[in-house]
């Protein structure tokens, strides 16, 4: 996670409003952009933030500087995603303006961006725990290697992925930020355990191999995940269904929390 920075996940094309304006200007901006808040700029420097909730019961001719929030928390583009996540979720702020050393606006990062960066995070603990599970369930003695695997050889074990995550993984791969997938390799079979979004993203980009943690099993033992894949009629990555992002439970939860806030 240390290599993941705010600059890799933030939105660069940011809608903003000028300090010299009125509540009416903000209302019109909300209608045209469908955003619920904007950084307030003066000479391209962030001086405040105004959200839709700040406009309630306020006359339309009221100057922006009378209702905007000036108690701001901003992010640096080189801040780690982990640090940005702590700020966003502990403060309850949904979006952080991203500024340079002169406080010029260069982007914005949201709680959804942070969630996207954290999904499918691979850790040594995850790999180790999975190996221990295989040992206990099947009495096998797996070995762990790091290498590349052909995407066309992968047997998926997950029938659905989510469009928003897929877009995030495509962006990561283009930026060189993608983490290894996890596979189990046994005689004549390579089973995809973790990293379905990354694998599909790579396939869409025309990439033929992926970096992987390869858990090798020499014994010819059918694993439960294989039976599950067969039961779901999964043979290749093309059999995975891509769902609209709005159906993702994490995104839905974020939306519910945002509405409550």
Mean pLDDT for the stretch of residues 237-254? 63
Residue 80 class from Cβ within 10 Å (0-12 exposed, 13-18 middle, 19+ buried)? middle
Whether the pLDDT of residue 29 is over 90: the answer is: yes
Asked if 81 contacts 4 with a C-beta cutoff of 8 angstroms, the reply is: yes
| Residue 149 belongs to some domain of the structure | yes
Other CB atoms within 10 A of residue 208 CB: 10
* 195 shares its domain with 241: yes
pTM, entire model: 0.58
Q: Which of 63, 84, 117 lies at the terminal end of a domain, its last residue? A: 117
| Residue 254 belongs to some domain of the structure | no
* 12 shares its domain with 43: yes
Q: For the chain, give the secondary structure using H, E and C.
A: CCCCEHHHHCECCCCCEECCCEHHHHHHHHHHHCCCEEEEEECCEEEEEEEHHHHCCCCCCCEHHHCCECCCCCECCCCEHHHHHHHHHHHCCCEEEEECCCCEEEEEEEHHHHHHHHCCCCCHHHHHHHHHHHHHHHCCCCEEEEEEEEHHHEECCCCEEEHHHHHHHHHHHHHCCCCCEEEEEECCEEEEEECHHHHHHHHHCCCCEEEEEEEECCCCCCCHHHHHHHHCCCCCHHHCEEECHHHCHHHHHHHHHHHHC
Provide the residue range defining the domain that includes 70: 6-117
* 132 shares its domain with 240: yes
How confident is residue 119, by pLDDT bands cut at 50, 70 and 90? low
Asked if 193 contacts 130 with a C-beta cutoff of 8 angstroms, the reply is: yes
pLDDT at 122: 66
Whether the pLDDT of residue 186 is over 60: the answer is: yes
Q: Which position has the token pair 């979004």?
A: 197
Tokens matching residue 159: 């029938």
* 136 shares its domain with 20: no
| CA–CA distance, 13 with 239 (Å, rounded to integer) | 35
* 210 shares its domain with 106: no
| Residue 63 belongs to some domain of the structure | yes
| Residue 260 belongs to some domain of the structure | no
* 129 shares its domain with 225: yes
CATH number at residue 75: 3.10.580.10
How confident is residue 257, by pLDDT bands cut at 50, 70 and 90? very low
* 70 shares its domain with 181: no
* 72 shares its domain with 174: no
Instruction: Dump pLDDT digits (tens) for 53-81.
Output: 899 999 999 999 999 998 888 999 999 88
CATH number at residue 233: 3.90.1530.10
| Residue 1 belongs to some domain of the structure | no
* 76 shares its domain with 159: no
* 21 shares its domain with 106: yes
Q: Which of 65, 88, 117 lies at the terminal end of a domain, its last residue? A: 117
Whether the pLDDT of residue 246 is over 60: the answer is: no
User: Between residues 228 and 126, which one has the greater pLDDT?
Assistant: 228
- Per-residue burial over 115-133, b if 16 or more Cβ lie within 10 Å, else e, is bbbeebebeeeebeebbee
| Residue 243 belongs to some domain of the structure | yes
Report the number of distinct structural domains present in the chain.
Answer: 2
Of 228, 227, 223, 231, nearest to 134 by C-alpha is 223
| Residue 221 belongs to some domain of the structure | yes
Phi first, then psi, for residue 69 (nearest 5°) are -90, 130
């Amino acid at each position: 996670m240390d290599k993941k920075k705010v600059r890799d996940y933030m939105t660069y094309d940011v809608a903003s409003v000028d300090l010299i304006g009125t509540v009416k200007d903000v209302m019109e901006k909300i209608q045209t952009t469908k955003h619920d808040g904007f950084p307030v700029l003066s000479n391209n420097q962030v001086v405040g933030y105004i959200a839709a909730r700040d406009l309630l019961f306020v006359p339309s001719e009221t100057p922006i500087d009378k209702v905007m929030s000036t108690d701001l928390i901003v992010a640096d583009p080189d801040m780690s995603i982990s640090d940005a996540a702590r700020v966003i979720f502990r403060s309850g702020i949904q979006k952080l303006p991203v500024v340079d050393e002169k406080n010029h606006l260069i982007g914005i990062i949201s709680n959804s961006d942070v969630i996207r960066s954290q999904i499918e995070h691979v850790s040594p603990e995850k790999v180790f725990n999975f190996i221990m599970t295989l040992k206990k369930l099947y009495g096998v003695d797996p070995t762990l290697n790091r290498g590349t695997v052909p995407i066309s050889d992968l047997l998926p074990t997950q029938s659905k992925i989510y469009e928003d995550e897929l877009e995030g993984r495509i962006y990561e791969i283009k930026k060189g930020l993608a983490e290894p997938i996890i596979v189990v390799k046994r005689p004549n079979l390579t089973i995809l355990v973790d990293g379905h979004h990354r694998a599909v993203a790579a396939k869409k980009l025309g990439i033929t191999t992926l970096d992987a943690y390869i858990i090798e099993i020499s014994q010819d033992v059918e694993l439960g995940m294989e039976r599950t894949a067969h039961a779901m009629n999964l043979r290749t990555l093309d059999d995975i269904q891509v769902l609209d992002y709005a159906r993702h439970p994490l995104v839905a939860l974020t939306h519910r929390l945002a509405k409550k806030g």
